[in-house]
Amino acid sequence: MKKILGYFVGIGLSMATGYVTGLLLTPASGDDLQTQVRNRVTQALAEGKQAASAREQELLAQFNAAKHTPLA
């Protein structure tokens, strides 16, 4: 019984320590952090779509060039 009690006390202390550490080390409030993460994800997705579109155009140009090249 002492081992189980000690286990749960350890879990509780660990959770409390993690919570306090998180509060002290977080650079921004929760809302600000969510906004920053959302903006970064949106920007990354936009850049990814732009890169995919550019690559698609490049591959289409290569395909059209290969389509008009006679076989050897």
Residue 19 Cα distances to 15, 51, 67, angstroms: 6, 40, 62
For residue 34, what pLDDT is reported?
85
DSSP state letter for 69: S
pLDDT tens, position by position, 6-27: 888 889 999 999 888 887 787 7
Domain locations along the chain: 2-67
DSSP string, the chain: -HHHHHHHHHHHHHHHHHHHHHHHH-SS-HHHHHHHHHHHHHHHHHHHHHHHHHHHHHHHHHHHHHHTSPP-
Q: Is the pLDDT of residue 72 over 70?
A: no
pLDDT tens, position by position, 25-43: 877 777 887 898 899 999 9
d(CA 65, CA 69): 6
